[in-house]
Amino acid sequence: MKKASRIFNAVLVGALLLLGAPFGGAAADDSATALVERTAEGMLRTLEARRGEIDANPQLIYELVGNKLAPHFDFQMITRSAVGKDWNSASSAQQGQLVSAFREMLVRTYAKALMKYSGEEIVYQSSKPGTRADTIVVPTEVRAPGAPAIPIDYRMHKLSGDWKVYDVVIDNVSLISNYRGQFRTSIGRNGIDGLIRELESKNAAGA
């Protein structure tokens, strides 16, 4: 997990830039490609046009990522998978709080990574079928001068007819698996409400 933490912020930039490249192969349809390209171009144009304003008020980047990027992630599935078996023991209200708090934390992480982007090369490969029906995997690499390439796989599935990211695998370490261990420890110590408080506390500190 330490290895994943070391590269996590840099690779999250790849998650942002993933939306700027067409998915290859027959698995991803033309409408998905058009959607993600429009989304990325709009986000990056806004970032460039408002860079000075965002530098002066960093909170604006959270709004940008939340509005333009987050809708293409399945935070319900990401949170449920990260919580694991304890998800079913949570009430509907607790599940909603978990999704909301985890979504905010990831959006903040993505936003900070975007602000630190310094031109690393993102190499996109053709998509391939996932392990389940209506899923695809988009393999990519993040390349920086003088450093080994970092492989990242983006796992996506169809939700209400649209492609959504439900996991990111960084150098063979799954985003979901990385958080699952942390969440299990927190729940074992303080229960579901303890995990909710912990996530909300991190978000408040980040604000």
pLDDT for 49 beyond 70: yes
- For the CA atoms of 120, 77, 169, 103, the dihedral, rounded to the nearest 10 degrees, stands at 40
pLDDT of the residue at 15 = 52
- As for how many domains the chain has, the answer is 1
**Cβ pair 145, 166 in contact under 8 A:** no
CATH number at residue 99: 3.10.450.710
Q: What is the pLDDT of residue 35?
A: 52
What whole-number distance in Å separates Cα of residue 16 and Cα of residue 199?
Answer: 22
| pLDDT tens-digit readout, 157-194 | 888 887 888 998 888 888 899 899 999 999 999 999 99
In this prediction, residue 29 carries a pLDDT of: 44
Q: So what's the pLDDT on residue 161? A: 80
What is the residue range of 173's domain? 2-206
**What pLDDT was estimated at residue 83?**
97
User: What is the DSSP-derived secondary structure letter of residue 22?
Assistant: P
Our separate counts of H helices and E strands in the chain read 7, 6
Q: What is the pLDDT of residues 1-46, one digit of tens each?
A: 444 444 444 445 555 444 444 433 334 444 444 454 566 556 667 7
pTM (two decimals): 0.78
Q: What pLDDT is stored for residue 197 in this prediction?
A: 97
Q: What are 110-157's pLDDT values in tens digits?
A: 777 777 666 666 676 777 778 887 888 877 777 888 888 888 788 888
State residue 14's pLDDT score.
52
**What is the spatial distance between Cα 182 and Cα 21, in angstroms, rounded to a whole number?**
32
